Structure 1
């Protein structure tokens, strides 16, 4: 009998403990309540938040975010930055409550419950946290919510480690709940905590922004949100439509239908009068601007974001898209508000648009834009280098501010577009700036008198592609309409109008192939636009001088203004290079009649090559002596940051390093391994006859050899060294196409024989040194071809996105 005694006693104690659980009313007596979607109680004595969970087993939306950030663009922990959006549910077993996340990547969209359950059981689900039941009453339970809030939900410590800024951990003793931003509403409950991280800092980014880098604090926000009803009608994704896809696998799909299903992300927008061609909405989509934005920036952002109403008008809505300033007292992290945030960082960087969306349907519940405040200053700087901006002394030419504000209008519209569901369209600029979802370079032109014309720097208003895309995503069709056919008709209207759409996959990397899809470009012809910009650049350099900075500023600050001017052609170089080995292609569907893919014709590739060769010509890269005589080293209190050229000369400006970084940028694009491999294939297929690596190298060498002054000759030698080094890289890399590597090695062999012969002719001292260096690098390559590393060129100063390095 005694062996049964212990289990019986333990069972009795378990029942007694369960029976002794207090009621929620008893447990929370005297505590400060917050009532709404979830009810919570704040215990001032212990600093705890108790959460009352009534919705056991019901799915809700959970979002974590960062409300007070770090301020470093490079680390990327910004103020009001959204984190993950998850569907979760609280489940109870005995004294335990788990916060479980179902796996929505794999589904069965069917009314057959066993079929749905079979998929749920086939793939892992996640449990985000576990809680102990502290009280219960009428089917509700009370849990200690505090540990869930006082944790690194946003991955701050991991982000710092990834960026080599040090090893940090959360210090709970220096972390508290943040009651000012903790509140509950009928459909959402918001929580916030101030979290302190301690550790040993390593990198300069953290040290540059934290007052005491070994201990810094941020604020994290947590939202529990009621999921929307099932009245929202999901819309199918089409690769031609310009939307972001929500992708999942549907195991209930018929055998003859794709397993992978795709929907678009979009806001819920319904006509008050569904039968009318044009109608006011049941509820408009309203975006709110951060009240911390000063004028005249505030007006520019409001105006730019408001352009989208024109697109919704084209989709059949009246006054359906509105932009206002956020009301006093409203929380920008409250899911009920679509927000345009104005975010400060220590260095310039990306702006971006994100969303809180229902992962089940793609319905956007909150649009959330983060605009970097330093971007406007960079556009001002770009304009400053092109004209004698301070000819009047301390007062800037008003065109500089006008251009910067024009860019902000476009930027506001662009990032809001992302939060409406739209992806980038990097092929829009060639069709009369057809979309704000492209990245526009300022279109600055030289007048007949040689003056710079700013009047068309940036476009105004929404583009034709944007209207078409909004029609696809938001047009409300009658019940009798075949929606699939109607959506296809909208997209084919765009094809017939000559509207091109290519997104990030065809534009971002250096090796991409589409000749129309570029970042920061203009015009229908990349070679013509490159030549135009080179003309503008040459004219601006000829006029560059002390009038480009305000009176009273150190002369050394001229270098900062000179840098973006000297590299003003950099983005068009990238655009032009894509014609080499390029292919015109579309996101065509079978039966839609669009051309699918074809190589860029040889005459277009030849024109691109000619334009690119101009950018490595020594006479184009030389900086006039008059300019060099105006730029001294930086004085005390000023520094040369990453937006300056990297010199070999210490504190003194280095024109050879500037030329080297510009040359290497062009060479890296022209001699990209993927590009050369495509050209080999095009030549083999008979599409190219006169453009191949041998001609490339010959033309580049000849261009850089075309030098007359001693300064030009010095730049020529810089370029020839970099060309030889790139050939060695191609010849030794086992990841490069064998045909390309073989052609590069053949060129290296030919150059080696030529260098040895030239050296035996006892040329001048500078030429002997030049040849000896290249022969020495070839010898290093011979010793271990696969281990050969391309010596780095001087670093190219930061550029795209007017904030991050290349």
Structure 2
């Protein structure tokens, strides 16, 4: 009896105790997530409000998907580069389960074996490292699904904000986990993508000036970071091989299954998937058109200008035989910009004018563009307006120019929108296009200002259509050929037809370095001939400076701000000077293929190089350098609450007051820096060695010294300008002679020039004014070269962005800036 009573009590006790999960097993997902908010979609997740955690349900193992981070809200400083909408790098990832753990693994698509032989593929896979981004402990499972805590992974500094702040010398910061949290309004799941957003805070000491200018408490920098998990495109996309004669960004990888007789590196272009409903038809609608959506936060009239400029690309797709294949719309109120299905043009605000970007999310396996993302800086239009203000502004009795200035600025925005969207279509810069009748919006354009009578005309400042090169590039990249077509042959015909129209392609590597050699490939230049265009630009500059007066700013504006309008007028020639300097030692070339009939390489004729030298020396004459007398009595020190260190005005050696020698010093230094570039000087030496009739470095230095040291040095303003120019030439030549990286002959000729200057300057000249400082520098150079100070230069105020490009981004990404396409 007592045993029955004991059994009864035991059974009763068991019923009172809740069921426990057996040791060594996980609870079910449904039990574990009871009471949590469920978000079904591409990747189902759960929000645990009590713990502030995101639990991710993984139901597909060893299935590849795309992951990339984004900066959802930025810092607001162009110089740091942490802008709203900044894209991180794409990663192909897959989840692999090992016992109680799940790894997020990134395969190495840089090295492949495109073959059906599994063992050959495995040999490549095992030869190169993969990357494990995170390891997750399984918290629950059910059927073939597991649940993991995604929160720690989401709280990482995935966009490299700490690195960006450090590289821009804004302080040493670190992620503060106690000030990070999920941001639920932008964490959601869509049919093809799942999105997570977090608030992250970086803390540090001694923040730099850029941070102090934009962060309320600069020792605590808070922004929002976004993580995207995206379904990869379905099969059927056909990759197109890259051709260096026509510009497209894209992917490249090693294919170890390639026969030894063929190149092992494979290169393919990036482009959207676009197919004709009828590939045989001359004109056909697209199966699925490319649609771009504009940020509805963009104000008018800018909104309309951006939509019109973006829509220009439909002209190019029409040329490729598509009907309405490219469209632009305002993002609907019920659409979410995070949805991968929306190509987005985003309007971004910063504390200073800055760069705009066109980037793409691509499938790293194929190069297919999944989403285009454009970032446009809102202050850019104000810089364009400022330049127009200096050229034609009159705020006295004539107010008609206000609409003219605004129209020029809006036309620039149209071109800018087309340019950035062009990057997201796969196109890089084409910097030779400006010399081919403005053939591409993918060049960096400066306004074409023309002198008409005594006035400056801006009616043709910017083009209002897509360029001819742009049409050919879209025809080549997006043409959908009928089945059975020899695609490679047809694509080659397109390139040949483009060349027959006088259109070619050269890009950043051909234009950006100061030492670059092609005389027609440059940023912000115009015209078919760099020398002729510099002469024309100098005439526009002369008229602008002759007419410069206080009416360039509205009544009631501090007179000190007149300098901000003066800066781009005084330096109006800066980029054309750089273009003309490339004629010296210049070489004209193409991206020719063997047998395609293109001219390969030729040295710029000697007569053209000497014309360039003459005009460059003329830019350093005292007549060109002199600041208009009106300005010397019209620009007072900056008033209270107007920064004396504004980057929009000239640096100065006179303290608070305007420095009449600062603008000339910036201009002279600019010209000398380009003329005496060590690599350019080396080309001048070499071309003269092969052709005695060519311009050589010795002749360049001889003409430079004659032009500068024959000028009178007296106590007048022009005399001070000549003294400053003489000093800058001596400093630059001493620096060139001491440059251990320079060609030996270059250093030798620079050394001889320094000694020649020594004989010219002497202890005194007519008028009783001494060249004593130059003599002292040369004496130091001869006796103790190590103690010669580096040239002291007042750098010119920022020029770009009158439009795009940026050094900090290049240093971070290792790529040409701004309009950089991944």
TM class by shorter chain equals over 0.9
Question: 1:83 aligns to what SS in structure 2?
Answer: coil
By how many angstroms is 1:132 displaced? Answer: 0.3
Residues 445-489 of structure 1, C-alpha deviations (whole Å, 9 max, x = no match): 010x21111110001110110000001110001121111111111
Matched, 1:416 2:421: yes
Unmatched segments (≥5 aa) in structure 1: 1-15
More displaced 10-residue stretch of structure 1: 163-172 or 43-52: 163-172
By how many angstroms is 1:524 displaced? Answer: 0.6
Matched, 1:101 2:106: yes
Structure-1 separation of matches of 2:283 and 2:87: 35
Structure-2 separation of matches of 1:113 and 1:18: 40
Where in structure 2 are the equivalents of 1:230-241 lying within 5 Å? 230-241=235-246
CA-based RMSD of the aligned residues comes to 1.7
Where in structure 2 are the equivalents of 1:298-313 lying within 5 Å? 298-313=303-318
Change (3 A) 1:549 1:134: same
Where in structure 2 are the equivalents of 1:220-299 lying within 5 Å? 220-299=225-304
More displaced 10-residue stretch of structure 1: 564-573 or 535-544: 535-544
Matched, 1:782 2:782: yes
Match of 2:590 in 1: 586
Matched, 1:696 2:701: yes
Where in structure 2 are the equivalents of 1:586-735 lying within 5 Å? 586-640=590-644, 641-686=646-691, 688-703=693-708, 705-706=710-711, 710-735=716-741
By how many angstroms is 1:790 displaced? Answer: 2.6
Match of 1:799 in 2: 799
Matched, 1:341 2:341: no
Structure-2 separation of matches of 1:607 and 1:87: 54
By how many angstroms is 1:162 displaced? Answer: 1.4
Structure-1 separation of matches of 2:23 and 2:586: 72
Instruction: Specify which of 197, 205, 211 is matched with residue 192 of structure 1.
Output: 197
Question: 2:126 aligns to what SS in structure 1?
Answer: helix
TM-score, normalised relative to structure 1: 0.95
Change (3 A) 1:600 1:762: closer
Match of 1:58 in 2: 63
By how many angstroms is 1:717 displaced? Answer: 1.1
Structure-1 separation of matches of 2:713 and 2:407: 41
Change (3 A) 1:356 1:762: closer
Match of 2:814 in 1: none
Q: Which has the higher contact order (CA 8 A, sep 6+)?
A: 2
Instruction: Specify which of 317, 320, 332 is matched with residue 325 of structure 2.
Output: 320
Question: 1:552 aligns to what SS in structure 2?
Answer: coil
By how many angstroms is 1:332 displaced? Answer: 2.2
Question: 1:84 aligns to what SS in structure 2?
Answer: coil
Instruction: Specify which of 457, 476, 480 is matched with residue 480 of structure 2.
Output: 476
By how many angstroms is 1:292 displaced? Answer: 0.7
By how many angstroms is 1:500 displaced? Answer: 2.2
Aligned length: 785
Structure-1 separation of matches of 2:697 and 2:188: 66
Contact 1:201/1:207, CA 8 A, preserved across alignment: no
Change (3 A) 1:97 1:684: same
Structure-2 separation of matches of 1:268 and 1:177: 34
By how many angstroms is 1:509 displaced? Answer: 1.0
TM-score, normalised relative to structure 2: 0.93
Contact 2:112/2:253, CA 8 A, preserved across alignment: yes
Structure-1 separation of matches of 2:22 and 2:506: 64
Structure-2 separation of matches of 1:700 and 1:488: 51
Structure-1 separation of matches of 2:378 and 2:234: 37
By how many angstroms is 1:687 displaced? Answer: 6.2
Structure-2 separation of matches of 1:254 and 1:18: 56
More displaced 10-residue stretch of structure 1: 564-573 or 193-202: 193-202
Matched, 1:115 2:120: yes
Unmatched segments (≥5 aa) in structure 2: 1-20, 808-822
Residues 185-204 of structure 1, C-alpha deviations (whole Å, 9 max, x = no match): 11111111111111213310
Question: 1:746 aligns to what SS in structure 2?
Answer: helix
Contact 1:305/1:413, CA 8 A, preserved across alignment: yes
Structure-1 separation of matches of 2:629 and 2:576: 26
Matched, 1:550 2:554: yes
Structure-1 separation of matches of 2:23 and 2:739: 69
By how many angstroms is 1:372 displaced? Answer: 0.9
By how many angstroms is 1:801 displaced? Answer: 2.4
Match of 2:757 in 1: 751
Instruction: Specify which of 486, 501, 504 is matched with residue 505 of structure 2.
Output: 501
Match of 2:46 in 1: 41
Question: 2:56 aligns to what SS in structure 1?
Answer: strand
Contact 1:189/1:225, CA 8 A, preserved across alignment: yes
Contact 1:599/1:687, CA 8 A, preserved across alignment: no
Residues 533-588 of structure 1, C-alpha deviations (whole Å, 9 max, x = no match): 11111111111111000000011110111011000000000110110000000000
Structure-2 separation of matches of 1:389 and 1:175: 52
Structure-1 separation of matches of 2:692 and 2:765: 44
Structure-2 separation of matches of 1:18 and 1:243: 58
Change (3 A) 1:668 1:701: farther
Contact 2:713/2:767, CA 8 A, preserved across alignment: no
Match of 1:533 in 2: 537
